Structure formats: C-alpha cells, structure tokens
Amino acid sequence: EIVMTQSPALVSVSPGERATLSCRASQSVDSKLAWYQQKPGQAPRLLIYAASTRATGIPDRFSGTGSGTEFTLTISSLQSEDFAIYYCQEYHNWPPLTFGGGTKVEVK
Amino acid sequence: EVQLLQSGGGLVQPGGSLRLSCVASGFTFISYDITWIRQGPGQGLEWVSRISGSGRSAYYADSVRGRFSLSRDNSKNTVDLDMKSLRVEDTAVYYCAKDRSGWPEFDHWGQGVLVTV
C-alpha cells in the first residue's frame, strides 16, 4: 500500500500571500495524483488531477507540480475562500486508493 | 447538472447493519465507476470501496472487506453500500463520488451521510 504524507499539517498564511503544500508518496505514483479542498461541513472538491491539471472551474491561482514521489500544491495569492483543508490522493496502483492526512491552511 | 444524492445514514448499535444509497443524475451512469470514501470525526479521508460501471467488479479496503458489500443498479442509477457487523470505528461521514473521466479523480461528490455506530 502506498502511503501519502502531507506537510506541514498546519500552515498559517495571510490573505494575499502564497501557500505551498507538500505531498510525498512512499513509492512512485508517476503523475497519478489529485488534490482536493475541503471546507467544514462540505464534501471535498477536486482542484488538481494528473498532478498538474486544474479541474473545471478552478482558478489559476491554484497550481500543482511534481511527479514520482514529490508533489506540491501552490496557492499563489490566498483569498478568504481558500482557507480550508487540502488533501492529496494517489491513484497509481489501486486498490487501495490512498489519501494524505491533509494540510490545514489557516489565517495568520 | 451532475448530482449524487445520498441516503441511509443513521445510528446503529455495534454489530448492526445499515444500507447507504447513492442516486446519480446528470451523466451516463453506466460509464462511470463509483467510489465510497469516508471521514471519521475530525479525521482525514479514507477510501472504502469502488465499483465498476458495469457492476461486475468491486473493490474494498482491508478495513471493511467481508463486512461491506457494494452493488449498483444501472437501470435506477443507484449504488448501494451494504454494511454489516458494524464497529465503533466505522463511525464516519460516508461520501459517494464519481470519477472525472475513467480515473479515480473524483470530480463530483454526494453530500455525505453520517453513520454513527
């Protein structure tokens, strides 16, 4: 089973600043990596798939990079609606499908 | 508009059973695998099960295999998750989710239902 590790668990950022979130896989997942955003009481929302492709309707301030075992989600200029928890998920060699533990982005 | 409408959550005693349903609309249902993902209280996301579009193949997490069963009725656009021998650790919000396009990238999710054991 592939283990996905996200860091940091919590990041404090001021509105307008950049946030950089990391996701590491215990073995290569090629580019089979998705990012989700989840707000309290809501279902997750797909942001990025195939490591770097924005999902439909996702603003271009969200970008994903990486391949193999190291991935990054960057939010270039945080808006108020971006404060949330972000999860990565691999789908290289399933089952199982695995998620990272999440990174919470909070207001500094 | 794609919609996934869930039902069936509730309170159940340990060892009990529950059925969750997910009714889909707005897309060609048979063309998409459906996945169930759960989230324990204050916890992250955990993959539970996945069923192919035809319904012929289903996959389960080790934590639920042998206790949970996933099925679908493509004539009714419905996926059912039958949960038996429920444990306290099965307490979670359960989501059904649809693939974006053939890969397990989940572009639409149900509203989630709470199961309390």
3-state secondary structure A20-50: EEEEEECCCCCCCEEEEEECCCCCCEEEEEC
pLDDT (tens digit, 9 = 90+) per residue, A6-63? 999 999 999 999 999 999 999 999 999 999 999 999 999 999 999 999 999 999 999 9
pLDDT category, B16, cuts 50, 70, 90? very high
- CA dist., res. B84 & res. B95, Å (int): 18
Residue with tokens 């990238």: B105
**Most A-contacting residue of B4, B95, B100, B106 (CB-CB within 10 A), to test interface:** B106
Supply the pLDDT for residue A25: 98
pLDDT reported for residue A55: 98
Tell me the chain B residues in contact with residue A55 when contact means C-beta distances shorter than 8 Å. Answer: 100, 105, 107
Coil, helix or strand at residue B42: coil
In angstroms, the separation between the Cα of residue A53 and the nearest Cα of chain B is 11
In DSSP terms, B73 is beta-bridged to B78
Amino acid at A67: S
Query: What pLDDT is recorded for position A99?
Result: 98
Residues of chain A with Cβ-Cβ distance to B103 below 8 Å are 32, 49-50, 91
C-alpha of A26 from chain center: 16
Residue B24 pLDDT: 98
Residue A95: what pLDDT?
94
Write the pLDDT tens digit of every residue in B44-58.
999 999 999 999 999
- pLDDT at residue A66 in the model: 98
Percent of chain B with pLDDT over 70: 100
First and final CA of chain B: distance in angstroms? 34
Res B98: pLDDT: 97
d(C-alpha B100, C-alpha A42), whole Å:
19
pLDDT level of residue A81 (50, 70, 90 thresholds): very high
pLDDT for the residue B86 = 98
Confidence at residue B23, expressed as pLDDT on a 0 to 100 scale: 98
Provide the pLDDT confidence category of residue A92 given band limits of 50, 70 and 90.
very high
User: Which pLDDT value is given to residue B2?
Assistant: 97
Q: What is the pLDDT of residue B40?
A: 98
Residue A31 sits at the chain B interface (C-beta within 8 Å): no
3-state SS class at B110: coil
> Which pLDDT score, from 0 to 100, does residue B26 have?
98
Q: Which of A93-97, B49-53, B57-61 has the lowest mean pLDDT?
A: A93-97
Give A50's contacts in chain B (Cβ within 8 Å).
Answer: 103, 105
Q: Give the C-alpha separation, B52 to B35, whole Å.
A: 9
